[in-house]
């Protein structure tokens, strides 16, 4: 019996950035790339608007309901907790997850409203830690010029400037910062290389860990 593969698992890869920085476009193209190489991979996103909690968040983001800042913060976190065990199952079964926003969005957006950063981090503790954070770096002014901007609650220039500052506080040396103003194909190539390395390390049995570590 060979045990050499027993720890092999999928990678947890997170894309972060301001609204309209290109996360969804790049997540989809990464998924195609990994599938093209024969890897098992799925595209996830937070908020996951398909659950009951996700629908409350969606209604808040589209200004159809009002919620206290603390309340909505905890809802975003709950929306991740309700997917945690499935996330772990998928990773352990060898599926790589490309995740469009995660806990860092949760902390950056709520602390940009003035909530304390430690308070914001607390409900995220114990969620799975990503193997890789890809930060799509764009000036708030540039993002605002992109199609579809301004449709949702947080898509306002002044607020996005604050979010960018909060991301700077959260960012550590392990994050990969990518200039999101390059042509899409150039960004794709850079991300592919980084992601492939990460997938390989996880296949070799890098252990899973929890936030914040
Ligand atoms: N939030 C989220 C919290 O407050 N707490 C949390 O815990 C979480 C998880 C919804 C909001 O919720 C907040 C953050 C958000 O404000 P969302 O549904 O992910 O989050 O919404 P957005 O981040 O706003 O997603 P967008 O769809 O607006 O932006 P993306 O995904 O970053 O960008 P994308 O790929 O859709 O591209 C936007 C446009 O730019 C073009 C695209 O074609 C598209 O038109 N584009 C480029 N143009 C030129 N050059 C490039 N390189 C380009 N890349 C993309
Ligand atoms: Na998006």
Q: Indicate which atom in ligand 1 lies nearest the CA of residue 76.
A: 7
Distance from residue 5's CA to the centre of ligand 2 (Å): 35
Whether 130 lines ligand 1, by a CB cut-off of 6 Å, is no
Two structure tokens written together for 158: 């002044």
Q: Which residues pair with 137 in a beta bridge?
A: 179
pLDDT, position 134: 99
* Residue corresponding to tokens 């890789």: 132
Residue with CA closest to ligand 1 atom 15: 19
Q: Where are the alpha helices (DSSP H) in the chain?
A: 23-36, 52-61, 69-81, 84-92, 103-112, 117-121, 140-144, 157-170, 184-203
pLDDT computed for residue 6 by the predictor? 53
ipTM for the assembly: 0.97
> From first to last of its 213 residues, what are the pLDDT tens digits of the chain?
444 555 899 999 999 999 999 999 999 999 999 999 999 999 999 999 999 999 999 999 999 999 999 999 999 999 999 999 999 999 999 999 999 999 999 999 999 999 999 999 999 999 999 999 999 999 999 999 998 898 899 999 999 999 999 999 999 999 999 999 999 999 999 999 999 999 999 999 999 999 997
Instruction: Report the atom number in ligand 1 closest to the C-alpha of 25.
Output: 35
Distance 204 CA to ligand 1 centre (A): 32
Helix (H, G, I), strand (E, B) or coil at 45: strand
**Ligand 1 contact via 21 beta carbon (within 6 Å):** yes
Provide the pLDDT for residue 7.
83
Question: What distance in Å separates the CA atoms of residue 135 and residue 167, rounded to the nearest whole number?
Answer: 9
């Amino acid at each position: 019996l060979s045990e050499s593969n027993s720890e092999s698992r999928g990678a947890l890869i997170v894309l972060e950035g301001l609204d309209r920085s290109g996360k969804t476009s790049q997540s989809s193209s990464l998924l195609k790339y990994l599938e093209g190489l024969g890897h098992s991979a799925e595209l996830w996103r937070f908020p996951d608007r398909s659950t009951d909690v996700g629908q409350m968040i969606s209604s808040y983001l589209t200004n159809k309901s009002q919620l206290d800042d603390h309340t909505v913060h905890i809802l975003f976190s709950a929306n991740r907790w309700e997917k945690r065990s499935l996330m772990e199952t998928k990773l352990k079964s060898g599926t790589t997850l490309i995740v469009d926003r995660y806990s860092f969005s949760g902390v950056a957006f709520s602390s940009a409203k003035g909530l304390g950063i430690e308070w914001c981090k607390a409900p995220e503790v114990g969620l799975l830690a990503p193997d890789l954070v890809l930060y799509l770096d764009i000036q708030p002014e540039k993002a605002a010029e992109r199609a579809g901007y301004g449709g949702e609650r947080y898509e306002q220039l002044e607020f996005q400037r604050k979010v960018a500052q909060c991301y700077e506080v959260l960012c550590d040396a392990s994050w990969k910062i990518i200039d999101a103003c390059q042509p899409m194909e150039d960004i794709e190539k850079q991300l592919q290389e980084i992601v492939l390395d990460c997938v390989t390390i996880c296949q070799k049995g890098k252990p899973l860990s929890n936030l914040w570590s």
